[in-house]
Structure 1
Amino acid sequence: MLEQEARISRGKDYSQIYKKGRRLAGKYLIIFVCPNQLPRNRFGIVTSKKVGNAVVRNRAKRQLRSIIRKNADRLPPGNDVVVVARYNIKEAIFAVLEKDFLRLLKKAVLL
């Protein structure tokens, strides 16, 4: 689980990130990146019902949380990052998901 301070929890925050943030799309993920005024990064994970049933969605969220936890220290502080799972995420293995996530962060100039 991500620490409470590292999570985006309010719907208002998600709306602001969707409106003002930069959108980057990969094969399995879409990320929105928006600067915040905090001394740390915050992350949010979104999986819609298009991804699959609850088992598939929860598995995707667990994998994404693990990827975020593993790579969070590499990011410069002061950003909100929302990771949206695309419908085909169930086809991806962990290593491919991580590669897609890191590629999108490099594209966003966060790595």
Structure 2
Amino acid sequence: MYPLYRQNRLRKNEDFQVVFKKGKSVANRQFVIYFLEKDDQQAFRAGMSVSKKIGNAVTRNRIRRFIKEAVRLRADEIKPACDFIIITRLPAVELDYAAFRDSLYHCMRKAKLFLS
């Protein structure tokens, strides 16, 4: 377990657009994940999008912290050669952290982002 380093984050709009245009997506009730396999990368990169429809700034930041922590806990199990974007849907706001994490991992398994 290690912190989600700067090298593991998608930040630029161009990077987001490449994943949206060339990648694939999977979804469940709480999340949509767009992902793109990249063979020339040593580490995965994760981006997140939490819309203003989700709630006020406090709620959105809480959701972002939940996502970062969930990804950080399983970072050593995530495929290194991929970029992915996690988009939060409104039903995720009502979940406690454990259910939130389980739902996110379910969606990540559907996207085959884990090594095993």
Range class of TM-score, shorter chain: over 0.9
The answer as to 2:81 corresponding to 1:67 is: no
Please, what is the CA RMSD of the aligned residues?
A: 1.2
SS of 2:112 mapped into structure 1: coil
SS of 1:60 mapped into structure 2: helix
In the alignment, structure 1 segments of 5+ residues that lack a partner are: none
TM-score (norm 2): 0.90
Cα contact 2:33–2:111 (8 A) shared by 1: no
The answer as to 2:96 corresponding to 1:97 is: no
In the alignment, structure 2 segments of 5+ residues that lack a partner are: none
Identity %: 29
TM-score (norm 1): 0.93
Decide which of 106, 110, 113 is 1:110's aligned counterpart. 113
Aligned to 1:51: 54
- Which contiguous aligned blocks of 4+ residues in structure 1 show a shift greater than 3 angstroms? none
Aligned to 1:41: 44
Aligned to 1:2: 4
